[in-house]
Structure 1
Amino acid sequence: MILCTVDDASTVHNIIQRFRESGTISVRKGQGRKTLLDARDLRALRRHCITYRNATLMEVTTWAQEYFQKTLSVNTIHRAIRHCRLKLYRSKKKPYLNMIQKHRRFLWAKAHLKWTVAKWKTVLWSDESKFKVLFGKLGRHVKRTREDKDNPSCYQRSVQKPASLMVWGCMSVCGMGSLHIWKGTINAERYIQVLEQHMIPSRRRLFQGRPCIFQHYNARPHTASITTSWLHRRRIRVLKWPACSPGLSPIKNIWCIIKRKM
């Protein structure tokens, strides 16, 4: 003889009742808790998030409570945003371009549209980059338990004024050029010295006497009259570069790789 408790008896009764009504013992759809936001509300939430991409989660929650006339928590809105296939990311930093700069950048891209791969291989890319000397540049996120919040291995160490240094480098499809560490401020005279001591030997070593095009940005030491005259006297062909367009140069990827591995 099998003895059943009250809970077991009610469970068996519910299963029998469900089978008599629907012909199956599986739980019907919609038996759980109803969602606060339906499909129409989610579409409105998605439109609002796309229109105001920089709004904080609290601001979106306040708007949703007023718009839907419902009591919604921050966690509910966070789950709803993820359900809309949206996710919170850190914004990428890009230099500001006005309409004139955008037009000049478009004209530059149009003028170099027909350049072949062989033509781009003749370019000697150069750039300056700033490296900060940090005490363990770790990410913003760490994998830990709740009890490990005070574990020193889970800290992100920082200093108020980290030491930094500025470097100049160049590269081409043939390989890497010389690397120079700046000391002090950068002006046109010191920039010309770097070109004489590092750019000229790197160009000679990488291209072996073949013609090449030198690329640098529109910084003041680069576009100074004495720098332009020096490049003209040395018969160095310079690639015209649009303003505020450092992301177009492939050497930026080299700096990013080095900084990630530091």
Structure 2
Amino acid sequence: MSDPQPTDGIPRPASTDAAAPRGRVLRMIAVVSACSLVVASMIGGGVVARAAVLAEQQAEQQRVLALGALLDDRSAASELLASTSAVMTVLDEAPIEAEGSRVAAALVAEAHARAAAELQRPLERSTATTFVESQQALLAAAIGDLVVALDDATRAVLAAGRDALEASPLAPESDRAALRSALDRIAVVPQGLPSSYTGRAALLDGALDAAQTARTSHAEEKAERERRAAEKRAAEEAAARAGSGGGGGSRRPSLMDAAERARMLAEGCVIVRETADMIVWDCPPEYFDSMRTG
């Protein structure tokens, strides 16, 4: 039965029993919403944290890759510096005629020192990526300058070898051929590639040695020819002096003029000196008078 209504005409509040279920529903909705916000916040924070971790991992991966690339570059640079040291030794010992090679040696030494200084920079596994990349750029620039200097030195040796070839026409053909072969071996070597400088010192040394050999053999042959010419002039002058002093000279007789030789001996001529191509005679005045009157 429903509650009895008052009879005094004064209104009374309705019973709260009917509103109780609705209040409980609202409170439950509020609790659920709050939980949802907490969960959403936790999820959002997790996403942000995961993104930060991924970014950190990517940055570390990039740093490790840059560090590995720098270590590879350093290894290649060390090999190049070893080759460069040998090249500098060869150029320093180049003969004075290869003056361009000596000038190039100074430039190679300067570039070599800069590259070596870059290799001395400290490097650790914890080095920052920006510093690693900066070191790599500096090393690449130093190696580039060293490669250019090595190429210039190679061209200087080629020029010195070609000058020697042109200046040694009296050298034996075997020496000239050896020089041409040494120059050809250098001319076909690639330029500008650090890997192409392994063994470069031996090629340059071979070309410089061949050039010096050609120059030396040329000088020896020239000196020998000058010696023979001087001997010939001396013999001719001696013959002329002997002729003016009552003596005379003639060519070495062949089998066909043996009779003339015998006649001169019979007329009192005496052989003063006899060489492979000359006989110097000392004849009495009567011999020359008989020649003039005869």
Q: TM-score range by the shorter chain?
A: under 0.3
Q: Please say which structure displays the higher CA radius of gyration.
A: 2
Normalising by the residue count of structure 2, what TM-score does the alignment of the two structures yield?
Answer: 0.21
Q: Which structure shows the bigger proportion of residues in strand conformation?
A: 1
Q: Which has the higher contact order (CA 8 A, sep 6+)?
A: 1
Q: Which structure shows the bigger proportion of residues in helix conformation?
A: 2
Normalising by the residue count of structure 1, what TM-score does the alignment of the two structures yield?
Answer: 0.23
